[in-house]
Chains A and B, each alone.
Chain A
Amino acid sequence: MFPATNRHKSDKKVNNRKVKVLINGELRSEKWMDVQVGDIIKLENNQFVTADLLLLSSSEPLNLVYIETAELDGETNLKVKQALTVTGDMGDSIKDLAAFNGEVCCEPPNNRLDRFTGTLTFTGQKYALDNERILLRGCTIRNTDWCFGLVIFGGQETKLMQNCGKTIFKRTSIDHLMNVLVLCIFGFLAISCSILAIGNRIWEQQEGSTFTAFLPRQDGVNAPFSAFLTFWSYVIILNTVVPISLYVSVEIIRLGNSYYIDWDRKMYHARSDTPAEARTTTLNEELGQIKYIFSDKTGTLTQNIMVFNKCSINGKCYGDVLDYTGQRLEITEQTDSVDFSFNQLADPKFMFYDQSLVEAVKLENTEVHAFFRLLALCHTVMAEEKNEGDLLYQAQSPDEGALVTAARNFGFVFRSRTPESVSIVEMGVQRCYQLLAILDFNNVRKRMSVIVRSPDGKLTLYCKGADTIIYERLHLSCSKLMEVTTEHLNEFAGDGLRTLALAYKNLDEEYFREWKERHHEASTSLEDREEKLDLLYEEIEKDLMLLGATAIEDKLQDGVAHTIEQLAKADIKIWVLTGDKQETAENIGYSCNMLREEMNDIFIVAANTPEGVREKLRHARSTMKPDSAEDELLCKMLQGDSPKVVPDESVTGEYGFVINGQSLAYALEPTMELEFLRTACMCKTVICCRVTPLQKAQVVELVKKYKKAVTLAIGDGANDVSMIKAAHIGVGISGQEGMQAVLSSDYSFAQFRFLQRLLLVHGRWSYLRMCNFLRYFFYKNFTFTFMHFWYAFFCGFSAQTVYDEWFITLYNLVYTALPVLGMSLFDQDVSDSWSFEYPQLYVPGQLNLYFSKTAFMKCALHSCYSSLVLFFIPYGAIYDTVKNDGKDIADYQSFALLVQTCLLVAVCIQLGLDMSYWTAVNHVFVWGSLAMYFIVTFTMHSNGMYLTFTSSFPHIGTARNSLSQPNVWLTILLTSILCVLPVLTHRFLLIQLQPTVNDKVRLKVRQMKAAPPPPPRRIRMRRTSSRRSAYAFSHAQGYGDLVTSGRFLHRQVKPRSTGFTPTGRTLNFSPAGRSAGYSPTAQNQNSKGDLEPTALQMYRTKQPSY
């Protein structure tokens, strides 16, 4: 109920979001839900795209629109879309747009995010449309004042929604089990009733027919008919084995445990003021059974912030804070950061902790200066300066932004650029470098260079790139420096940082002119242009002089590595599914400690053909486990049984597994999915990169299908919605931009690290409580009901109840309801801090140890034993006996009272044994319920009640008469002890002989006599790793062209006195661009004010809200 209303609210919020729609020649503000296909809508900067649009025109030159697609595919760099010139010419002329009369033919709605085909017929001409012209719903407009678009797909038909997967009604495995059990119980009920009916038939034949003198049969009732009636009477009496209150109680418990999640302060993120939220209240106990976690990367594991962390300049390493003994200190929030006040243009958000680097800069160390000069010059970043000194960088990749920002703070401020110049402020002095060439990045080159002429006329090539690539091109004289730098690089890599080597080369004027000519020739040639250019670049980028290396941290969310380690200890498998590139994903794998250098092997599956993929998978599997069964064999094995479950295969050693999206598409084919699943499951770590949202869901579905395991998907963006919906449990990261993931999730919180608390504490407790509850609930009801069964053999199978009617009514409702609820709301085996200390405590949940069919059977047998004790001990005790004043006590009413009192005391004691955490509330509930029983019983057996409601309370005086008898109390005592005796013995011996983790930890807790274990040590993870990755991997090709073409630089501003006058261009560089640029170091535009749920939910309202 609660989650449904919540969802409804947020859906409504999205549906009612406003967008400007062109109607009858004027722009009107309309609700999102009223937008229709064919509408022309106007979008403004930082707005979410409402629907899939055909871009018509934009404020930018060349009809460009910049968009961010993080919500769609997890990539954070800006992308460019361009409108057709023919539509772009309309600009923002409302008249023209209103008169626009084109016809769009396109493909039917589909889920391919990277492809679009269609045609636009306009003024008799046909124009081809491709993905370049389409703005997809879920994107965000950046750096663009306005743009107009024509709605092509709306609502469910948008590619985003097509990728979302179906919303399924989630039920927990306990629910399924419970349904099965309830069916079994019904069967059992039918059998019991049949037995009793047959008993009645026999009794009627043998006894009843002769007893008619005292108890005549009713007219028309013969023995068989009486048996038939008896059957139904017993159905009514024994129906307490199928307790309706079970379902109600289960929901109450889940609700309570959900509230605990909402209330948990340790899952509250103060910075974003976001508490955790249980959006679904029916899945709690499954949180304690998670076996597979599917995690998104960007925004979930990482913060998507790059931080310039360390560097090595001329053989000296900067960035570590050392104490006086030379030990490396851990950097915490208390550590003093470097004071950049000497630099007016410094970015105040930039933090660096090593003072020595600033001193080196101040001392005008040549290499250090050259190092930062390179960083300030060699990049494709755009700068915007709203006010004097208030710089905003727009970088194509966050890494670049981080490097340029670092240079800025150390006194080499990149201020502005024109297509032909770069102007920087070097230690307070404005200098302008002539930009002669950009040797752009691509995936093969893995480096970029710029060739600049300094104000004093020197020609220099600055190059940065992956260290291996740079090292190949270094001058021989650098070999010594190379060695030292390599050491530093290894160290950086060991810390999980992205490294980059920097080098420069002074160019000879003559040589350069000649090279430039050839370059011009090559760049204008029509054939093999790329190859020719590559050759030219190759030629000039050699004999470089090494300057040093940078180390950038792709900042993980707080505590990610620790959380992953904890979850791994709890035997939870984590798969990373990301839309990002393979290299970035791998790198994050390393920095989260998911991939490790010491792993036996890391398989990378990246093939273009199904055969290739299969080959790689086979190879991986045979490497890990040469004797593992062949697919065909397994298939055969699976065909027989209807629930197909692929067993876990254990391998010795640790392996990593990385697969890219294209290979994954093949691997998910029905013929190969088993191969893929088996291989992947053998590996410790699985990373899928470049996957589409739908593939994420497919992977989850695959695991759900073949593994009898509970899955959890966690993500933050629209691209994670499908897997969040597909998994048993979906978790959304809230508090950031966009809310799609949160809106379709079952649980949401602000930080990935809260996952460990959600699972290891809340999940585990919920599971434990639910199982304890179920076991106890079945126990108490079975025991209660079995007694009727035994009594049937002594009352002629006449459907005589063994208790009085009021007890039957109140047993579940009053006498036993609260104690068990108290247990299921407050019970804890060990405290939360111990749960963290021993994540292994989580494992029983994954194995379904606490409540399963076996546990249920045990429970039923236990009840059977208890009911035998509870019936036959009182039977023996009152047989042929009398009160101590000689009067009757073996009467039915006294017997009923005795039996029900024994039962209640026994189930209360059993509860006490099951409960390991007695809070004051539990005490009140348990003792209160017992007291309540006696109070109610004495009240109902009182004279007053009989005189007022004569026929309703015929048991008058029974309590007084029999509870005053010592042998009644001795019977109660005997039955209670006899009921718990075997339980106690069994449990005690089990603890001694086969202690579970749980028992051990509890014993340890007792020994420590104190709840909080030593606060979790945050061990700084240091790894020795030779593996390195360069920032450049997160880079895309082609930005250099944009920079030099001047497309970015569209504003006419009066030229500043830069000492360099650009020639031959009409567009001047302007540092006073708009403030709206996107840059990782200036996230202010992503502040909370803009936070709004995005797209997606608009269509939720159409789906049934249960």
Chain B
Amino acid sequence: MAASCWPASGFYREKKRNCSARTAIFDGGMMKNKEGEVANRPDNTAFTQQRLPAWQPMLSAGIVIPGFLVIGLVFIGIGVALFLGSQSIQVLESDYTGLNSNTPCYECSDASKKNCTCSIEFTLTKQFDGPVFLYYGLSNFFQNHRKYGVSRDYYQLSGDTAYFKNPSDSCSPYIYDSGVPIVPCGAAANSMFNDSFRLYQLVGGTKKPVPLDGKGISWWTDYNIVFRNPPLVNGSLAAAFNGTAKPVNWAKPAYELDTSDPSNNGFMNEDFLVWMRRAALPDFRKLYRRITQGDYAAGLPVGNYSLEISYNYPVIGFGGRKKIVLSNVSWMGGKNMFLGVAYLVIGSLCIVMSLVMLIVYAKYKFPEGDS
């Protein structure tokens, strides 16, 4: 893009001079032999004489005005594509913090209640195209706080048992729980999101469970490289965690995170992995499940649905919010109108600018030839 600002014909090369420079070097050598007086004469090279061939671009009207126009048009094109792409994405989101008494999860928002469940019911009047992703969203949650970010032990998370006994100091203050080392240590792991969701389609009064796929929701690199379980002891993961304490906020130790799937435990638990990839901004959403199986592989058909929430995670205390999001994606990712609109605005701006420049150029262009 930047190159379009330069004049097309701006490539000027000093070929002739360069050649003469070379012959002159030769001459210099000759003279030295003859007279012996030019010992101090500097070398005649394009570099030392500052005559390196160069491209000398200039902001000329012939380049800038059409350049702006072209950029503008291209941007509008991209903008339209992005906008349409984003428009086509279906998003269904619902705040289930339960602040208001008329919301389904109001009862559960009381921190003293344990094992509270609530459910949100919704109706799809339009087919929700698959693959559909289920996200949970948190707001006002500072995963990007510096101290929060550093509060983890990479070695421990890569399954190095040496760090099971002596977790890194960076995990402070979640290193030891009454003298027993915490695994996984640190504030990041400790604050893991622990609400769980079940989705049902209401078909004629019965709840038909929508299968939620928890596999492959984390980054490939996280799952395969970064996080490793400790080597099993006697074939048992629990034994490998022997002599360690669970994070204080956790209800269950790491090796019991997913009771339904033994391979989804410990540091290989994908929910854990998703959580540990800390968000850049205080409002974020994280992938919870994918709906890719069974009758729902092509998406959620029209109908009534019920989302059952096991409400555990306290957010009201720090002014946070929780939400659940159903969304599909397009070629450019999740729904985000910003980029498309920005492209449209800036594209139009370029075109306006090129017009302004054209007018200025036609009217005021400085008289050429005199200086």
**A and B from one complex:** yes
Which A residues are closer than 8 A to B by beta carbons? 207, 210-211, 213-216, 218-219, 233, 260, 262-266, 268, 270, 273-275, 765, 794-796, 798-800, 826, 828, 832, 838, 873, 875-896, 909, 912-913, 916-922, 943, 946-947, 950-951, 954, 956-957, 960-961, 965-967, 970-971, 973-974, 976-978, 980-981, 984-985, 987-989, 991-993, 995, 997, 999-1004, 1006-1007, 1009, 1011
CB < 8 Å neighbour of A981 from B140, B286, B333, B346: B346
Query: Are B371's CB and A894's CB within 8 A?
Result: no
A266-B49, A795-B145 known; 16 new pairs, CB 8 Å cut-off, are: A213-B317, A215-B147, A215-B187, A263-B42, A263-B49, A796-B144, A881-B334, A881-B336, A887-B217, A888-B218, A920-B52, A967-B339, A974-B346, A988-B357, A992-B357, A992-B366
CB distance from B107 to the nearest CB of A (A): 21
17 examples of A-B residue contacts, CB within 8 angstroms: A210-B319, A215-B151, A215-B187, A273-B40, A876-B336, A881-B333, A881-B334, A891-B279, A918-B54, A919-B53, A957-B219, A965-B333, A967-B332, A970-B343, A971-B339, A981-B346, A1006-B58
Chain A residues with CB below 8 A from B147, complex form: 215, 798
Chain A residues with CB below 8 A from B37, complex form: 270, 273
Instruction: List CB contacts (< 8 Å) of B1-44 with chain A.
Output: 1-2, 5, 7, 12, 14, 37-44
Q: A886-B329, A887-B217, A1002-B58 are in contact. Are A264 and B42 (CB under 8 A)?
A: yes
Chain A residues with CB below 8 A from B39, complex form: 273
B321 within 8 A of partner (CB): no
Inter-chain CA distance A889–B353, complex, in Å, is 34
Query: Are B371's CB and A916's CB within 8 A?
Result: no
B98 within 8 A of partner (CB): no
Query: Are B332's CB and A966's CB within 8 A?
Result: yes
CB < 8 Å neighbour of A957 from B143, B222, B335, B364: B222
Chain A residues with CB below 8 A from B319, complex form: 207, 210
Q: A884-B333, A885-B329 are in contact. Are A263 and B58 (CB under 8 A)?
A: no
- Which residue of the partner chain A has the closest CB to B190? A214
Query: Are B52's CB and A894's CB within 8 A?
Result: no
Query: Are A265's CB and B279's CB within 8 A?
Result: no
Inter-chain CA distance A709–B336, complex, in Å, is 57
- Which residue of the partner chain A has the closest CB to B332? A967
Chain A residues with CB below 8 A from B203, complex form: none
CB < 8 Å neighbour of A916 from B56, B140, B281: B56
Query: Are A1007's CB and B339's CB within 8 A?
Result: no
Inter-chain CA distance A1006–B277, complex, in Å, is 55
CB < 8 Å neighbour of A876 from B38, B131, B284, B342: B342
Query: Are A988's CB and B64's CB within 8 A?
Result: yes
Query: Are A260's CB and B48's CB within 8 A?
Result: yes
CB < 8 Å neighbour of B154 from A207, A264, A950: A950
Query: Are B343's CB and A974's CB within 8 A?
Result: yes
CB < 8 Å neighbour of B278 from A216, A875, A891, A973: A891
B330 within 8 A of partner (CB): yes
Chain B residues with CB below 8 A from A1001, complex form: 371
Query: Are A881's CB and B335's CB within 8 A?
Result: yes
CB < 8 Å neighbour of A270 from B38, B78, B314: B38
CB < 8 Å neighbour of A976 from B2, B274, B331: B2
* Proximity bits, B338-371, A CB within 8 Å = 1, else 0: 1100110010011001001100110011101111
B50 within 8 A of partner (CB): yes
Inter-chain CA distance A216–B142, complex, in Å, is 12
Inter-chain CA distance A1061–B14, complex, in Å, is 75
Query: Are B357's CB and A882's CB within 8 A?
Result: no
Q: A879-B281, A950-B158 are in contact. Are A913 and B53 (CB under 8 A)?
A: no
Which B residues are closer than 8 A to A by beta carbons? 1-2, 5, 7, 12, 14, 37-44, 48-50, 52-61, 64, 68, 71, 75, 78, 82, 131, 133, 135, 137, 140-149, 151, 154-155, 158, 172-173, 187, 190-191, 217-222, 225-226, 274, 277-287, 290, 314, 317-319, 327, 329-336, 338-339, 342-343, 346, 349-350, 353, 356-357, 360-361, 364-366, 368-371
Chain A residues with CB below 8 A from B142, complex form: 207, 211, 215, 795-796, 798
CB distance from B42 to the nearest CB of A (A): 4
Query: Are A921's CB and B330's CB within 8 A?
Result: no
Query: Are A977's CB and B342's CB within 8 A?
Result: no
CB < 8 Å neighbour of B40 from A275, A912, A921, A951: A275
- Which residue of the partner chain B has the closest CB to A237? B146
Query: Are B318's CB and A214's CB within 8 A?
Result: yes
- Which residue of the partner chain B has the closest CB to A944? B225
Chain B residues with CB below 8 A from A999, complex form: 366
Query: Are A890's CB and B148's CB within 8 A?
Result: no
User: Which of B40, B131, B141, B287 has most chain A Cβ within 10 Å?
Assistant: B40
Q: A210-B319, A268-B40 are in contact. Are A886 and B287 (CB under 8 A)?
A: yes
Query: Are B1's CB and A967's CB within 8 A?
Result: no
CB distance from A840 to the nearest CB of B (A): 8
Chain B residues with CB below 8 A from A880, complex form: 137, 283-285, 334-336
CB < 8 Å neighbour of B41 from A265, A799, A966: A265
Query: Are B277's CB and A891's CB within 8 A?
Result: yes
Chain B residues with CB below 8 A from A838, complex form: 371
Chain A residues with CB below 8 A from B368, complex form: 1003-1004, 1007
Query: Are A916's CB and B173's CB within 8 A?
Result: no
Query: Are A970's CB and B371's CB within 8 A?
Result: no
CB distance from A314 to the nearest CB of B (A): 45
Query: Are B173's CB and A214's CB within 8 A?
Result: no
Q: A218-B173, A921-B52 are in contact. Are A977 and B357 (CB under 8 A)?
A: no
Chain B residues with CB below 8 A from A946, complex form: 225-226
Q: Which 7 A-B pairs have the closest CB atoms?
A: A957-B221, A895-B280, A263-B48, A882-B334, A876-B338, A1000-B371, A214-B191
Query: Are B158's CB and A918's CB within 8 A?
Result: no
Chain A residues with CB below 8 A from B5, complex form: 913, 980, 984
Chain B residues with CB below 8 A from A967, complex form: 82, 332-333, 336, 339
Q: A265-B49, A794-B282, A973-B1 are in contact. Are A992 and B365 (CB under 8 A)?
A: yes
Inter-chain CA distance A890–B155, complex, in Å, is 24
- Which residue of the partner chain B has the closest CB to A261? B42
CB < 8 Å neighbour of B338 from A879, A909, A951: A879
Chain B residues with CB below 8 A from A213, complex form: 191, 314, 317-318
Query: Are B1's CB and A976's CB within 8 A?
Result: yes
Query: Are B155's CB and A798's CB within 8 A?
Result: no
Query: Are A883's CB and B333's CB within 8 A?
Result: yes
Chain A residues with CB below 8 A from B283, complex form: 879-880
CB distance from A1095 to the nearest CB of B (A): 24
Inter-chain CA distance A366–B169, complex, in Å, is 114
Chain A residues with CB below 8 A from B60, complex form: 1003, 1006
CB distance from A367 to the nearest CB of B (A): 45
Query: Are B154's CB and A951's CB within 8 A?
Result: yes
Chain A residues with CB below 8 A from B172, complex form: 218
Query: Are B42's CB and A890's CB within 8 A?
Result: no
CB < 8 Å neighbour of A264 from B2, B49, B357, B366: B49
CB < 8 Å neighbour of B145 from A262, A263, A800, A1004: A800
Chain B residues with CB below 8 A from A984, complex form: 5, 59, 64, 68
Query: Are B41's CB and A268's CB within 8 A?
Result: yes
Query: Are A882's CB and B133's CB within 8 A?
Result: yes
CB distance from B342 to the nearest CB of A (A): 6
CB distance from A105 to the nearest CB of B (A): 49
Query: Are B148's CB and A215's CB within 8 A?
Result: yes
Query: Are A951's CB and B155's CB within 8 A?
Result: yes
User: Which of A765, A873, A950 has most chain B Cβ within 10 Å?
Assistant: A950
CB < 8 Å neighbour of B226 from A215, A909, A921, A956: A956
Query: Are A798's CB and B145's CB within 8 A?
Result: yes
CB distance from B292 to the nearest CB of A (A): 10
Inter-chain CA distance A966–B332, complex, in Å, is 6
Chain B residues with CB below 8 A from A920, complex form: 52-53
Chain B residues with CB below 8 A from A1000, complex form: 366, 370-371
- Which residue of the partner chain B has the closest CB to A917? B54
CB distance from B134 to the nearest CB of A (A): 10
Inter-chain CA distance A984–B37, complex, in Å, is 52
CB < 8 Å neighbour of B357 from A828, A973, A985: A985
